Amino acid sequence: MKRVAVLTSGGDAPGMNAAIRAVVRTGLEVGFEVYGVENGYAGLIAGQFRPLGRRDVSEVMQWGGTFLGSARCEAFYEVSGRQEAIAQMEKHGIEALIVIGGNGSQTGSYALSQMGFPVVGVASTIDNDLAGTDVTIGVDTAINVALEAIDRLKVTASSHGRAFLVETMGRKCGYVALISGIAGGAEVVSIPEAELGPEEIAQAFREAYDRGKNHALAVIAEGATYNALKLMAYFEEHRESTGFAVRATILGHVQRGAAPTAADRLLATRLGEGAIRALARGEAGVLTGLRGNHVVTTPLEEVVNTAKPLDAELAELARIMAI
Protein backbone atom coordinates (compact mmCIF):
# COMPACT_ATOMS: atom_id res chain seq x y z
CA MET A 1 0.00 0.00 0.00
CA LYS A 2 1.28 3.44 -0.89
CA ARG A 3 -1.34 6.15 -0.47
CA VAL A 4 -3.96 6.54 2.28
CA ALA A 5 -6.48 9.30 3.00
CA VAL A 6 -7.81 10.61 6.30
CA LEU A 7 -11.00 12.54 7.05
CA THR A 8 -12.96 13.81 10.05
CA SER A 9 -16.74 13.37 10.03
CA GLY A 10 -19.85 14.21 12.04
CA GLY A 11 -19.71 16.43 15.11
CA ASP A 12 -16.27 17.87 15.79
CA ALA A 13 -14.53 16.54 18.89
CA PRO A 14 -11.52 18.03 20.74
CA GLY A 15 -8.56 15.83 19.83
CA MET A 16 -9.46 15.27 16.18
CA ASN A 17 -6.47 17.41 15.14
CA ALA A 18 -4.13 15.33 17.27
CA ALA A 19 -5.51 12.18 15.60
CA ILE A 20 -4.90 13.58 12.10
CA ARG A 21 -1.37 14.56 13.14
CA ALA A 22 -0.68 11.03 14.41
CA VAL A 23 -2.07 9.46 11.22
CA VAL A 24 0.17 11.70 9.09
CA ARG A 25 3.36 11.24 11.07
CA THR A 26 2.94 7.48 11.63
CA GLY A 27 1.86 7.05 8.01
CA LEU A 28 5.03 8.72 6.76
CA GLU A 29 7.05 6.67 9.24
CA VAL A 30 5.81 3.37 7.74
CA GLY A 31 6.28 4.59 4.17
CA PHE A 32 2.75 5.71 3.18
CA GLU A 33 1.78 8.93 1.47
CA VAL A 34 -1.04 10.58 3.43
CA TYR A 35 -3.78 12.73 1.90
CA GLY A 36 -6.23 14.82 3.90
CA VAL A 37 -9.87 14.99 2.78
CA GLU A 38 -11.65 18.28 3.44
CA ASN A 39 -15.15 18.38 4.96
CA GLY A 40 -15.72 14.71 5.72
CA TYR A 41 -17.72 12.50 3.37
CA ALA A 42 -18.94 15.55 1.42
CA GLY A 43 -15.32 16.34 0.46
CA LEU A 44 -14.68 12.69 -0.32
CA ILE A 45 -17.49 12.70 -2.87
CA ALA A 46 -16.32 16.06 -4.25
CA GLY A 47 -12.68 14.87 -4.53
CA GLN A 48 -11.30 17.47 -2.09
CA PHE A 49 -7.92 15.85 -1.36
CA ARG A 50 -4.59 17.40 -0.43
CA PRO A 51 -1.26 15.82 0.45
CA LEU A 52 -0.22 16.21 4.08
CA GLY A 53 3.39 16.34 5.23
CA ARG A 54 4.88 16.40 8.71
CA ARG A 55 4.95 20.22 8.85
CA ASP A 56 1.32 20.49 7.67
CA VAL A 57 0.26 19.07 11.01
CA SER A 58 2.47 21.27 13.19
CA GLU A 59 0.73 23.53 15.71
CA VAL A 60 -2.67 21.84 15.36
CA MET A 61 -2.76 19.51 18.32
CA GLN A 62 -3.66 22.15 20.90
CA TRP A 63 -6.80 23.32 19.08
CA GLY A 64 -10.34 21.96 19.37
CA GLY A 65 -12.30 21.30 16.17
CA THR A 66 -10.67 19.87 13.05
CA PHE A 67 -8.47 21.75 10.61
CA LEU A 68 -9.65 19.47 7.78
CA GLY A 69 -13.26 20.50 8.39
CA SER A 70 -16.15 18.14 9.07
CA ALA A 71 -19.63 17.77 7.62
CA ARG A 72 -22.85 15.85 7.77
CA CYS A 73 -23.41 14.44 4.27
CA GLU A 74 -26.82 13.19 3.08
CA ALA A 75 -25.42 11.78 -0.20
CA PHE A 76 -23.23 9.30 1.69
CA TYR A 77 -26.33 7.44 2.92
CA GLU A 78 -26.95 6.45 -0.73
CA VAL A 79 -25.03 3.71 -2.56
CA SER A 80 -24.54 6.14 -5.46
CA GLY A 81 -22.83 8.64 -3.12
CA ARG A 82 -20.47 6.00 -1.79
CA GLN A 83 -19.73 4.77 -5.33
CA GLU A 84 -18.74 8.31 -6.26
CA ALA A 85 -16.49 8.47 -3.18
CA ILE A 86 -14.73 5.24 -4.22
CA ALA A 87 -14.38 6.53 -7.80
CA GLN A 88 -12.76 9.73 -6.50
CA MET A 89 -10.32 7.79 -4.32
CA GLU A 90 -9.40 5.48 -7.20
CA LYS A 91 -8.87 8.50 -9.45
CA HIS A 92 -6.43 9.94 -6.89
CA GLY A 93 -4.64 6.61 -6.35
CA ILE A 94 -5.88 6.28 -2.76
CA GLU A 95 -5.92 2.68 -1.55
CA ALA A 96 -7.34 3.01 1.97
CA LEU A 97 -9.29 5.50 4.08
CA ILE A 98 -9.12 6.42 7.77
CA VAL A 99 -12.36 7.87 9.20
CA ILE A 100 -12.10 9.83 12.44
CA GLY A 101 -15.64 10.17 13.82
CA GLY A 102 -18.52 8.93 15.92
CA ASN A 103 -21.34 6.44 15.63
CA GLY A 104 -22.92 7.77 12.42
CA SER A 105 -19.56 8.25 10.75
CA GLN A 106 -18.50 4.67 11.56
CA THR A 107 -21.82 3.39 10.22
CA GLY A 108 -20.79 5.20 7.02
CA SER A 109 -17.30 3.59 7.14
CA TYR A 110 -18.88 0.18 7.57
CA ALA A 111 -21.14 0.79 4.55
CA LEU A 112 -18.09 1.82 2.51
CA SER A 113 -16.06 -1.20 3.62
CA GLN A 114 -18.99 -3.45 2.68
CA MET A 115 -18.52 -2.19 -0.87
CA GLY A 116 -14.96 -3.57 -0.86
CA PHE A 117 -12.97 -0.42 -0.02
CA PRO A 118 -10.45 -0.76 2.88
CA VAL A 119 -11.45 1.54 5.76
CA VAL A 120 -10.21 1.89 9.33
CA GLY A 121 -12.21 3.97 11.82
CA VAL A 122 -10.87 6.04 14.72
CA ALA A 123 -13.31 6.37 17.65
CA SER A 124 -13.94 10.09 18.05
CA THR A 125 -17.05 11.72 19.49
CA ILE A 126 -17.81 13.69 22.64
CA ASP A 127 -20.82 11.38 23.17
CA ASN A 128 -18.74 8.23 23.97
CA ASP A 129 -21.54 6.16 22.41
CA LEU A 130 -19.32 3.87 20.33
CA ALA A 131 -18.89 0.18 21.10
CA GLY A 132 -15.36 -1.19 20.64
CA THR A 133 -13.70 1.37 22.89
CA ASP A 134 -13.85 2.32 26.57
CA VAL A 135 -13.56 6.00 25.70
CA THR A 136 -13.72 8.08 22.54
CA ILE A 137 -11.59 11.07 21.55
CA GLY A 138 -13.16 14.27 22.90
CA VAL A 139 -15.18 12.92 25.78
CA ASP A 140 -12.62 13.80 28.47
CA THR A 141 -12.51 17.42 27.30
CA ALA A 142 -16.32 17.62 27.14
CA ILE A 143 -16.54 16.30 30.71
CA ASN A 144 -13.99 18.84 31.93
CA VAL A 145 -16.01 21.69 30.38
CA ALA A 146 -19.14 20.40 32.14
CA LEU A 147 -17.20 20.11 35.37
CA GLU A 148 -16.04 23.71 35.24
CA ALA A 149 -19.66 24.82 34.82
CA ILE A 150 -20.87 22.56 37.64
CA ASP A 151 -18.19 23.81 40.05
CA ARG A 152 -19.19 27.42 39.38
CA LEU A 153 -22.91 26.77 39.61
CA LYS A 154 -22.46 25.00 42.94
CA VAL A 155 -20.89 28.15 44.38
CA THR A 156 -23.93 30.18 43.34
CA ALA A 157 -26.33 27.43 44.41
CA SER A 158 -24.78 27.40 47.90
CA SER A 159 -24.92 31.18 48.24
CA HIS A 160 -28.56 31.50 47.23
CA GLY A 161 -30.04 28.20 48.34
CA ARG A 162 -31.18 27.60 44.78
CA ALA A 163 -31.44 24.34 42.91
CA PHE A 164 -29.70 24.01 39.56
CA LEU A 165 -30.11 21.80 36.51
CA VAL A 166 -27.13 21.36 34.17
CA GLU A 167 -27.83 19.73 30.83
CA THR A 168 -24.89 18.02 29.11
CA MET A 169 -24.48 16.77 25.54
CA GLY A 170 -24.22 13.07 24.70
CA ARG A 171 -27.22 12.23 22.54
CA LYS A 172 -28.75 8.94 23.76
CA CYS A 173 -25.66 8.03 25.81
CA GLY A 174 -25.53 9.15 29.45
CA TYR A 175 -21.77 8.75 29.92
CA VAL A 176 -20.85 12.46 29.88
CA ALA A 177 -23.65 13.30 32.33
CA LEU A 178 -22.82 10.40 34.64
CA ILE A 179 -19.09 11.12 34.87
CA SER A 180 -19.69 14.88 35.18
CA GLY A 181 -22.20 14.15 37.94
CA ILE A 182 -19.77 11.95 39.90
CA ALA A 183 -16.77 14.25 39.44
CA GLY A 184 -18.85 17.38 40.11
CA GLY A 185 -20.66 16.00 43.16
CA ALA A 186 -24.18 16.33 41.75
CA GLU A 187 -27.12 15.48 44.01
CA VAL A 188 -28.89 13.68 41.19
CA VAL A 189 -28.12 12.47 37.66
CA SER A 190 -30.73 11.65 35.02
CA ILE A 191 -29.56 9.81 31.88
CA PRO A 192 -31.37 8.00 29.06
CA GLU A 193 -30.28 4.61 30.43
CA ALA A 194 -31.71 5.41 33.91
CA GLU A 195 -34.20 8.22 33.55
CA LEU A 196 -35.84 10.18 36.33
CA GLY A 197 -39.12 12.06 36.15
CA PRO A 198 -39.62 15.62 37.47
CA GLU A 199 -41.20 14.46 40.74
CA GLU A 200 -38.24 12.18 41.44
CA ILE A 201 -35.81 15.03 40.80
CA ALA A 202 -37.83 17.40 43.00
CA GLN A 203 -37.86 14.73 45.72
CA ALA A 204 -34.06 14.28 45.44
CA PHE A 205 -33.63 18.06 45.81
CA ARG A 206 -35.90 18.13 48.87
CA GLU A 207 -34.01 15.24 50.47
CA ALA A 208 -30.70 16.97 49.82
CA TYR A 209 -31.93 20.10 51.67
CA ASP A 210 -33.40 17.91 54.46
CA ARG A 211 -30.00 16.22 54.90
CA GLY A 212 -28.50 19.64 55.51
CA LYS A 213 -26.98 20.38 52.12
CA ASN A 214 -27.04 24.04 51.13
CA HIS A 215 -27.08 23.31 47.41
CA ALA A 216 -28.91 20.95 45.11
CA LEU A 217 -27.66 20.30 41.60
CA ALA A 218 -28.88 17.82 39.01
CA VAL A 219 -26.98 16.80 35.89
CA ILE A 220 -29.36 15.94 33.07
CA ALA A 221 -28.29 14.23 29.84
CA GLU A 222 -29.71 15.91 26.73
CA GLY A 223 -31.12 12.55 25.60
CA ALA A 224 -33.27 12.07 28.73
CA THR A 225 -37.01 12.30 28.05
CA TYR A 226 -37.26 15.04 30.65
CA ASN A 227 -34.45 17.30 29.41
CA ALA A 228 -33.70 20.66 31.03
CA LEU A 229 -36.39 22.56 29.08
CA LYS A 230 -39.13 20.09 29.99
CA LEU A 231 -38.01 20.00 33.62
CA MET A 232 -38.01 23.80 33.81
CA ALA A 233 -41.56 23.90 32.44
CA TYR A 234 -42.57 21.46 35.18
CA PHE A 235 -40.79 23.35 37.98
CA GLU A 236 -42.26 26.66 36.89
CA GLU A 237 -45.75 25.20 36.86
CA HIS A 238 -45.26 23.62 40.31
CA ARG A 239 -43.28 26.44 41.91
CA GLU A 240 -45.54 26.60 45.00
CA SER A 241 -45.63 22.88 45.76
CA THR A 242 -41.91 22.23 45.19
CA GLY A 243 -40.99 25.07 47.54
CA PHE A 244 -37.70 26.16 45.93
CA ALA A 245 -36.52 28.02 42.84
CA VAL A 246 -34.77 26.11 40.06
CA ARG A 247 -32.43 27.49 37.39
CA ALA A 248 -31.21 25.63 34.30
CA THR A 249 -27.98 25.82 32.30
CA ILE A 250 -27.85 24.05 28.95
CA LEU A 251 -24.20 23.59 28.01
CA GLY A 252 -24.79 22.53 24.39
CA HIS A 253 -22.02 23.25 21.90
CA VAL A 254 -19.87 24.98 24.54
CA GLN A 255 -18.73 21.44 25.36
CA ARG A 256 -17.30 20.87 21.87
CA GLY A 257 -14.91 23.70 21.19
CA ALA A 258 -12.49 23.56 24.12
CA ALA A 259 -8.76 22.90 23.81
CA PRO A 260 -8.26 19.14 24.14
CA THR A 261 -7.10 17.89 27.54
CA ALA A 262 -3.86 15.93 27.88
CA ALA A 263 -5.90 12.71 28.08
CA ASP A 264 -7.62 13.47 24.76
CA ARG A 265 -4.39 14.47 23.02
CA LEU A 266 -2.73 11.24 24.16
CA LEU A 267 -5.74 9.07 23.26
CA ALA A 268 -6.00 10.70 19.81
CA THR A 269 -2.28 10.22 19.18
CA ARG A 270 -2.45 6.56 20.19
CA LEU A 271 -5.58 5.81 18.15
CA GLY A 272 -4.28 7.70 15.09
CA GLU A 273 -1.08 5.66 15.25
CA GLY A 274 -3.14 2.51 15.80
CA ALA A 275 -5.16 3.11 12.63
CA ILE A 276 -2.02 3.31 10.48
CA ARG A 277 -0.50 0.25 12.19
CA ALA A 278 -3.73 -1.68 11.48
CA LEU A 279 -3.56 -0.79 7.77
CA ALA A 280 0.14 -1.67 7.66
CA ARG A 281 -0.74 -5.12 9.10
CA GLY A 282 -3.31 -5.55 6.33
CA GLU A 283 -6.35 -5.03 8.57
CA ALA A 284 -9.43 -3.15 7.31
CA GLY A 285 -13.11 -2.88 8.15
CA VAL A 286 -12.20 -2.25 11.80
CA LEU A 287 -12.41 0.51 14.42
CA THR A 288 -9.36 1.56 16.45
CA GLY A 289 -10.27 2.03 20.10
CA LEU A 290 -8.91 1.77 23.63
CA ARG A 291 -9.77 -1.13 25.92
CA GLY A 292 -8.15 -1.45 29.33
CA ASN A 293 -5.43 0.98 28.23
CA HIS A 294 -4.54 -1.09 25.14
CA VAL A 295 -5.12 0.10 21.58
CA VAL A 296 -7.30 -2.55 19.95
CA THR A 297 -9.24 -3.04 16.74
CA THR A 298 -12.85 -4.27 16.57
CA PRO A 299 -14.71 -5.20 13.37
CA LEU A 300 -16.90 -2.28 12.23
CA GLU A 301 -19.76 -4.73 11.80
CA GLU A 302 -19.66 -5.47 15.54
CA VAL A 303 -19.24 -1.78 16.43
CA VAL A 304 -22.29 -0.58 14.49
CA ASN A 305 -24.49 -3.45 15.67
CA THR A 306 -23.68 -3.18 19.38
CA ALA A 307 -25.12 -0.65 21.81
CA LYS A 308 -22.65 0.60 24.39
CA PRO A 309 -23.97 -0.50 27.80
CA LEU A 310 -24.13 1.79 30.80
CA ASP A 311 -21.55 0.99 33.47
CA ALA A 312 -23.91 -0.01 36.30
CA GLU A 313 -21.13 0.27 38.91
CA LEU A 314 -20.58 3.94 37.99
CA ALA A 315 -24.33 4.63 38.20
CA GLU A 316 -24.37 3.09 41.69
CA LEU A 317 -21.32 5.15 42.67
CA ALA A 318 -23.11 8.34 41.60
CA ARG A 319 -26.10 7.39 43.78
CA ILE A 320 -24.01 6.63 46.87
CA MET A 321 -21.92 9.80 46.54
CA ALA A 322 -25.03 11.99 46.26
CA ILE A 323 -26.38 10.97 49.69
Site pattern 126..145 for ligand ATP (x: CB under 6 A): -x------------------
Size of the site for ligand ATP (CB under 6 A): 19
Q: Which is nearer to ligand ATP, 41 or 235 (CB)?
A: 41
Q: 311 an active-site residue? A: no
Q: Would you say 122 and 98 are in contact if contact means Cβ atoms under 8 Å apart?
A: yes
* Least Å from the CB of residue 173 to ligand ATP: 9
Within a 13 Å sphere around the CA of 323, how many CA atoms are in the beta-carbon half? 4
Q: Which stretch binds ligand ATP (CB under 6 A): 9-17, 22-30, 182-190, 266-274?
A: 9-17
Decide if residue 41 touches ligand ATP (CB under 6 A). Answer: yes
CA pair distance 122, 22, nearest whole angstrom: 11
d(CA 188, CA 322): 7
Tell me which of 12, 56, 127, 140 is the catalytic residue: 127
Which listed residue (36, 64, 65, 101) binds ligand ATP by CB under 6 A? 101
Binding of ligand ATP by 72 (CB under 6 A) = yes
Other C-beta atoms closer than 10 Å to the C-beta of 266 total 15
Q: Which of 188, 125, 133 is nearest to 177 (CA)?
A: 188
Instruction: Say whether residue 107 binds ligand ATP (CB under 6 A).
Output: yes
Q: Which helix (H) or strand (E) holds 49?
A: strand 49-51
Identify the bridge partners of residue 5 per DSSP, sorted by sequence position. 35, 97
- 5, 7, 8, 9: residue in contact with ligand ATP (rule CB under 6 A): 9
Alpha helices in 226-311 (DSSP H): 228-237, 239-242, 262-280, 300-304
* Cβ closest to ligand ATP, residue 39 vs residue 242: 39
Residue closest to 110 by CA, chosen among 93, 97, 126? 97
In angstroms, give the least distance from the CB of 192 to ligand ATP.
Answer: 14
- Give the whole-angstrom CA distance, residue 109 versus residue 297: 14
- Least Å distance, CB 316 to ligand ATP, is 27
Q: How far apart are the first and last CA of the chain?
A: 57
| Using rule CB under 6 A, residue 111 touches ligand ATP | yes
| Nearest residue (CB) to ligand ATP, 78 versus 199 | 78
> Where in the sequence numbering do the catalytic residues fall?
127
Applying CB under 6 A, which residues contact ligand ATP?
Answer: 9-11, 13, 41, 72-73, 76-77, 101-105, 107-108, 111, 125, 127
